């Protein structure tokens, strides 16, 4: 596979100690051709080696589109209109996934990046035994491997994800929802990928099974050392598993911060609303508030901040100027923490005479 020339790292990726394995830079995606809808607008994100990066937001905010675009699996009418997806190999070689030719892309999939799709039942072939499906995935990428060896590897992978290898002869319908999702994780791990992208891997499961899958992923990450992008609408689940959380709204990242920081004191009003829309899986109970209104139509976004119609703290600048991701303005916050909200542009707040002292402490006061 040939290394592609890549442009310098995005500024936010150069933090002290950062070891990026995947850098999404200014990724933009449109749906439709004549009058395209801009569903992703210049999204930049960095996944560091060994890290779990959570990606959260309501349905339709673009998080799955981001995963599919980054892995070049976006079906028509989706069209990548700009950006780079830089993968850095263990030896430091970099390649832009978006510019790989077909052969290099096939080699990269499953070994560099693997994806676990939403809805395990739909992703597994109902008429083939699960052991064979895993073995087929292995031999498709390792043509030199003989079938008995691939079946043996499939049994090992099932064991790795906590399924008795004897179940390799089962068909998908003979397994519970949680087991099918584990099979999908086993399949994704078949070629020892460095990055695992998981698109709503627990959405169809009950809370107990969700917890088991999340613990399993954390355990496998610890043992195998891969990095994870974990996509979900349930931000409380991310608090359990993620090192960092990026919150998406209307095709953009609106907050990108350490998971604990988001939990303690979300800085974007939408992140705050999202956090108060789900009961926490552990710790003290929190009052659930939800977010009024619905997400905007991406085909006709309002001017200024796309969240302003739903935001209790909107002021004049919010209608006129589109916020960009900037470092949090709250003293003491992690300098790498970024927020797309005018409350973090002191000049705009001062010019409006808008007092941050009247805002909920979580948004603008130093974290407890
Ligand atoms: Fe609310 Fe304005 Fe911040 Fe948007 S920019 S989240 S409308 S305060």
Give residue 338 CA to ligand 1 midpoint distance, Å. Answer: 14
Instruction: Give the residue, by CA position, lying nearest to ligand 1 atom 3.
Output: 341
pLDDT band at 177 (very low <50, low <70, confident <90, very high): confident
Averaged pLDDT, 84-113: 93
d(CA 57, CA 275): 10
Find the mean pLDDT for residues 78-89. Answer: 96
Ligand 1 centroid vs 304 CA: distance in angstroms?
9
End residue of a domain, out of 242, 266, 286: 242
pLDDT band for position 287 (50/70/90)? low
Mean pLDDT of 107-133: 86
Instruction: Give the model confidence (pLDDT) of 35-52 as tens digits.
Output: 899 999 999 999 999 999
13 within domain boundaries = no
Check pocket membership of 269 for ligand 1, CB cut-off 6 A: yes
Mean pLDDT within 88-103: 95
pLDDT tens digits, one per residue of 264-283: 899 999 999 998 886 665 56
Residue 2 inside a domain? The answer is: no
* Statement to judge: residues 285 and 352 lie in one domain: yes
What is the reported pTM? 0.87
Give the end of a domain, one of 242, 260, 293. Answer: 242
pLDDT band at 6 (very low <50, low <70, confident <90, very high): very low
- Containing domain of residue 272, as a range? 252-363
Distance 306 CA to ligand 1 centre (A): 8
68 and 212, same domain (yes or no)? yes
CB distance 344 to ligand 1 below 6 Å: no
333 C-alpha vs ligand 1 centroid, how far in Å? 19
Whether residue 247 lies inside any domain: the answer is no
CA 314 – ligand 1 centroid, Å? 5
The answer to whether residues 213 and 296 belong to one domain is no
What interhelical angle do 207-224 and 177-188 show, nearest 10?
20
Residue nearest to ligand 1 atom 5, measured at CA: 341
- Shared-domain flag, residues 279 and 149: no
The pLDDT > 90 percentage for the chain reads 55
Question: Is 354 a domain residue?
Answer: yes
Q: Whose CA is nearest to atom 7 of ligand 1?
A: 308
Q: pLDDT digit string (tens) for 19-40? A: 999 999 999 999 988 889 999 9
Domain count, the chain: 2
232 & 258 share domain: no
> With a 6 A CB cut-off, is 343 part of the ligand 1 pocket?
yes
Query: Could you tell me if the CB of 318 is within 6 A of ligand 1?
Result: yes
Q: What is the mean pLDDT of residues 224-251?
A: 92
Name which of 160, 204, 164 is nearest 181 in CA terms. 204
Is the pLDDT at 194 greater than 50? The verdict is: yes
One domain for residues 273 and 187: no
Instruction: State the pLDDT at residue 95.
Output: 95
Q: Three-state SS string across 329-363, please?
A: CCCCCCCCCEECCHHHCHHHHHHHCCCHHHCCHHH
């Amino acid at each position: 596979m040939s290394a592609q020339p890549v442009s310098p790292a995005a500024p936010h990726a150069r933090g002290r100690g950062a070891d990026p394995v995947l850098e999404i830079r200014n990724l933009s995606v449109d749906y439709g051709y004549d009058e395209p809808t801009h569903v992703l607008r210049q999204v930049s994100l960095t996944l560091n080696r060994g890290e779990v990066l959570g990606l959260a937001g309501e349905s339709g905010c673009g998080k799955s589109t981001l995963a599919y675009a980054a892995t070049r699996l976006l079906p028509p009418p989706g069209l990548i209109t700009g950006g780079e997806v830089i993968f850095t190999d263990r030896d430091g070689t970099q390649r832009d996934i978006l510019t790989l030719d077909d052969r290099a892309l096939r080699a990269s999939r499953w070994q560099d990046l693997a994806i676990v799709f939403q809805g395990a039942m739909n992703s597994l072939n109902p008429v083939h035994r699960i052991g064979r499906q895993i073995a087929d995935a292995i031999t498709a990428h390792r043509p030199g491997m003989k079938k008995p060896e691939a079946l043996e590897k499939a049994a090992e992978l099932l064991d790795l994800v906590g399924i008795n290898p004897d179940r390799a002869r089962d068909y998908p319908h003979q397994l519970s929802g949680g087991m099918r999702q584990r099979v999908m994780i086993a399949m994704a791990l078949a070629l020892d990928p460095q990055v695992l992208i998981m698109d709503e891997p627990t959405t169809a499961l009950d809370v107990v099974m969700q917890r088991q899958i999340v613990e399993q992923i954390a355990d496998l990450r610890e043992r195998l050392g891969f990095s994870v992008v974990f996509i979900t609408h349930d931000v409380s689940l991310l608090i359990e598993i993620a090192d960092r959380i990026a919150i998406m709204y209307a095709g953009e990242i609106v907050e990108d911060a350490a998971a604990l920081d988001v939990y303690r004191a979300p800085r974007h009003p939408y992140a705050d609303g999202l956090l108060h829309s789900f009961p926490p899986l552990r710790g003290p109970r929190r009052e659930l508030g939800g977010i009024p209104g619905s997400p905007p139509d991406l085909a006709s976004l309002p001017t200024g901040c796309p969240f302003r119609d739903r935001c209790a703290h909107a002021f004049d600048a919010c209608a006129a100027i589109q916020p960009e991701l900037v470092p949090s303005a709250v003293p003491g916050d992690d300098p790498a923490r970024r927020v797309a909200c005018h409350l973090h542009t002191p000049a705009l707040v001062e010019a409006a005479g808008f007092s941050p002292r009247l805002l909920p402490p979580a948004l603008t006061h130093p974290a407890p």
